[in-house]
């Protein structure tokens, strides 16, 4: 081979060799943070790792057993988790985390520091709690305390103007701190408080032990990295000791049977464990999740341990603090209990609180079961000739079962089954929505049993009748009934209770013969079972010259049971014109009706009018003459009505809620807040609110009237309780 050819071959090989060499990227490891400064509490931090190679994280300090790393090895982008044990010493500590690739050609470091829980000039939170009642705490001009904020201002569920800090994850490790309204701090941030001039005492409003700094400038954030507070798991008896006040804790249990029927979280409820130890769950009405639905299962609730009305309670910090996803223990039911036909949407079979079992062939008995794990169920048997069973919604809110038909009067029935769990000594009340088409039975009775075999009406007549030719159709003729059953023998906790509604005879609503055509009965809205109304006695406040607690009112459905009542929200009792003398107690008025333990002012007839033509009847309630002179204080509780049983966008005229302003009028001498007619409000649609006003120059002939704005065409139903003049 010639020299020239060899040179060409060598050049070609050289070029091919250069072509095969690939230029690889340089290995890189970057961390989302180069340092962490942690509070003394147990904590954890997530550090993102940006990498194009393998990487390993390891602790360089041999004695750093207080720090651990999760996911310490990976390839490419990833995340490692740094966990720290609490630092109970009086000295800060530090460790270095080295993150490197296998060949050690690239590495980076993360510095981890942790503050001590005590030290020179530092007073622990647990030490502060021992100083309750001390004034002008000046342990040292430079004395400090330090803690992590565990209350959450973002969700506004802690007494106003207070934050809860936790200095140690053990009993006595938390305390509430009074701050300026402008001091905004996030849960998980650490604050340091200078103690010069501070006071420690019980707050009269919240009942909690509070640290009052000498000034707002005494409270400051530290330079620590924000953490996610970790709840300390404790029992209800431990919470009841008060030793965990202002700490973020986790408690196992479920909402009590007596409170499970409540609709919203802000309705203060009790929480019980499997031994039925009880504590309060407090969700303030102003909280961001106040109107979330009450969870029905068992599990855990986290929150800041506090005090409500003098008793230990728990203030959840966010909706994520409720983890009640397991089956309720001690499944059963309690009174009052609402078996509700309310739907989620305007769609058949979409039950909000129950699930139906529907058979296409009406030779089979049909059933429905409650979704709250209570074991409560419904069962009905109608004539084999009937072809109508529907679970449906119409614009009037009369969510209902169409039960047809009733040709075999002796065999057909509608039956509720209530499992063991309660004791009934004297009797119980059943309230329900019922109606029918023209050829359905007119006369019915309510019977009960504890063995599902022997049935009785108890010691009183429990029959009811649908008025002749009052038909359930087109949003009209949906009636509400009450049956008080006085039992022959006490119902024991180990007894199942069965309640049946059945025809008494063959008479129909129209007077014609029973028929499968237009022969359906209609069960609408709900069936509510409760104890018999007792003799409630509300003590008269000291100094009262007039007090009306409406204890003698027992009729109607309790509006506060919420949308489970469906259209029975409007179920009010007799008008004041029908009250006997003892119940009226000197009062007078128009369109004032009974509710259990309070009165309803204003009325809308939903039986004779369909939902497109409801008519508002303004109510007026007048007290008797006060029989006193001078200046006095008037107070009462009030709440406005809202139809919660229907859906937005439907043609229901009262869907947006009744007006929230009421009117007080004075006759016979005197003024209220300087006027003879005074508008007050706003009232809440969800709970009673107390209103207080000044009466000036009243005479023995003075009477007070409660009504709605004069001439108002808006819907104006509202409720009143505990009228007091003192």
Q: Which residues of the chain have pLDDT under 70?
A: 1-24, 62, 133-141, 258, 261, 330-332, 358-364, 384-395, 648-651, 710-713
Assign a CATH topology to domain 29-114: Immunoglobulin-like (2.60.40)
Asked if CATH classification 2.60.40 holds for the domain at 546-725, the reply, yes or no, is no
Domain topology for 337-531: Jelly Rolls (2.60.120)
What pLDDT score was predicted for residue 260? 73
3-class SS of residue 159: coil
The answer for residues whose C-beta is within 8 angstroms of residue 441's C-beta and 6 or more apart is: 406, 409, 503, 504, 505, 506, 507, 508, 509, 514, 521
* Res 116: pLDDT: 86
- Give the per-residue pLDDT at 329: 79
Give the chain's count of helices (H) and strands (E).
4, 50
Q: What per-residue confidence (pLDDT) applies to 171?
A: 92
Task: Give yes or no for a contact between 66 and 82, defined as CB atoms under 8 angstroms apart.
Answer: no
What does residue 219 show for φ and ψ, rounded to 5 degrees? -110, 125
Q: What is the Cα–Cα distance from 183 to 216, expressed in whole angstroms? A: 8
How far is CA 657 from each of CA 612, 653, 718, rounded to the nearest angstrom?
Answer: 15, 9, 10
pLDDT number for residue 356: 83
Q: What are phi and psi of 405, to 5 degrees?
A: -115, -165
Tell me whether domains 29-114 and 546-725 share a fold.
no
Task: Report how far residue 645's alpha carbon sits from residue 651's, in angstroms, rounded to the nearest whole number.
Answer: 13
């Amino acid at each position: 081979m010639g020299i020239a050819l060899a040179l060409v071959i060598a050049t070609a090989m050289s070029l091919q060799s250069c072509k095969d060499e690939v230029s690889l990227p340089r290995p890189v490891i970057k961390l989302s943070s180069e340092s962490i400064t942690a509070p003394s509490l147990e904590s954890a931090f997530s550090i993102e790792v940006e990498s194009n190679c393998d990487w390993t994280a390891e602790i360089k300090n041999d004695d750093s057993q207080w720090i651990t790393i999760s996911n310490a090895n990976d390839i490419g982008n990833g995340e490692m988790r740094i966990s720290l044990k609490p630092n109970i010493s009086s000295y800060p500590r530090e460790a270095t985390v080295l993150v490197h690739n296998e060949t050690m050609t690239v590495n980076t470091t993360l510095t981890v520091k942790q503050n001590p829980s005590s030290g020179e000039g530092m007073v622990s939170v647990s030490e502060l709690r021992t100083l309750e009642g001390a004034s002008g705490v000046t342990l040292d001009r430079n004395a400090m305390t330090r803690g992590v904020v565990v209350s959450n201002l973002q969700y506004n569920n802690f007494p106003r103007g207070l934050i809860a800090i936790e200095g140690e994850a053990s009993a006595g490790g938390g305390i509430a701190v009074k701050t300026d309204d402008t001091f905004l701090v996030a849960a998980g941030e650490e604050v340091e408080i200078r103690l010069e001039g501070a006071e420690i005492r019980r707050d009269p409003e919240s009942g909690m032990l509070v640290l009052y700094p000498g000034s707002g400038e005494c409270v400051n954030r530290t330079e620590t990295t924000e953490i996610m507070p970790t709840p300390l798991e404790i029992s209800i008896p431990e919470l009841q000791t008060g030793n965990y006040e202002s700490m973020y804790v986790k408690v196992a249990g479920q909402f009590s049977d007596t409170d499970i029927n409540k609709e919203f979280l802000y309705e203060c409820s009790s929480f019980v464990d499997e031994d039925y130890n009880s504590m309060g769950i407090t969700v303030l009405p102003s909280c961001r999740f106040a109107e979330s639905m009450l969870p029905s299962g068992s599990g855990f609730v986290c929150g800041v341990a506090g005090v409500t009305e003098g008793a230990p309670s728990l203030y959840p910090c966010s909706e994520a603090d409720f983890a009640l996803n397991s089956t309720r223990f001690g499944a059963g039911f309690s009174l009052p209990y609402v078996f509700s036909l309310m739907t989620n949407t305007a769609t058949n079979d979409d039950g909000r609180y129950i699930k139906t079992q529907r058979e296409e062939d009406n030779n089979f008995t049909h059933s429905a079961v409650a979704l709250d794990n209570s074991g409560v169920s419904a069962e009905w048997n109608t004539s084999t000739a009937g072809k109508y069973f529907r679970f449906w919604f119409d614009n009037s809110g009369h969510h209902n079962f169409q039960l047809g038909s009733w040709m075999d009067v002796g065999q057909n029935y509608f039956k509720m089954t209530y499992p063991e769990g309660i004791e009934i000594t004297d009797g119980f009340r059943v309230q329900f929505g019922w109606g029918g088409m023209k050829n359905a039975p007119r006369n019915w009775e309510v019977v009960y049993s504890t063995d599902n075999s022997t049935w009785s009406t108890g010691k009183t007549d429990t029959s009811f009748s649908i008025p002749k030719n009052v038909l359930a159709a087109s949003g009209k003729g949906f009636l509400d009934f009450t049956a008080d059953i006085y039992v022959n023998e006490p119902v024991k906790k180990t007894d199942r209770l069965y309640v049946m509604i059945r025809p008494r005879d063959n008479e129909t609503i129209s007077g014609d013969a029973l028929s499968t055509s237009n022969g359906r009965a209609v069960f609408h809205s709900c069936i509510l079972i409760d104890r018999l109304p007792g003799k409630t006695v509300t003590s008269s406040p000291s100094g009262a010259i007039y007090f009306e607690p409406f204890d003698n009112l027992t009729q109607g459905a309790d509006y506060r049971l919420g949308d489970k009542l469906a259209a029975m929200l409007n179920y009010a009792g007799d008008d004041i014109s029908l009250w006997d003398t003892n119940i009226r107690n000197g009062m007078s008025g128009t369109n004032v009706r009974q509710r259990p333990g309070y009165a309803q002012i204003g009325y809308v007839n939903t039986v004779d009018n369909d939902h497109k033509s409801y008519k508002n009847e303004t109510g007026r309630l007048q007290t008797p003459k006060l029989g006193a002179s001078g200046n006095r204080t008037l107070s009462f509780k009030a709440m406005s009505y809202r139809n919660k049983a229907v859906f937005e966008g439907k043609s229901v005229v009262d869907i947006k809620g009744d007006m929230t302003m009421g009117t007080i009028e004075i006759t016979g001498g005197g003024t209220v807040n300087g006027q003879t007619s005074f508008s007050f409000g706003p009232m809440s649609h969800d709970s009673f609110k107390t209103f207080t006003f000044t009466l000036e120059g009243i005479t023995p002939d003075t009477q007070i009237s409660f009504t709605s704005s004069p001439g108002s065409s808006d819907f104006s139903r509202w409720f009143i309780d505990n009228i007091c003049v003192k």
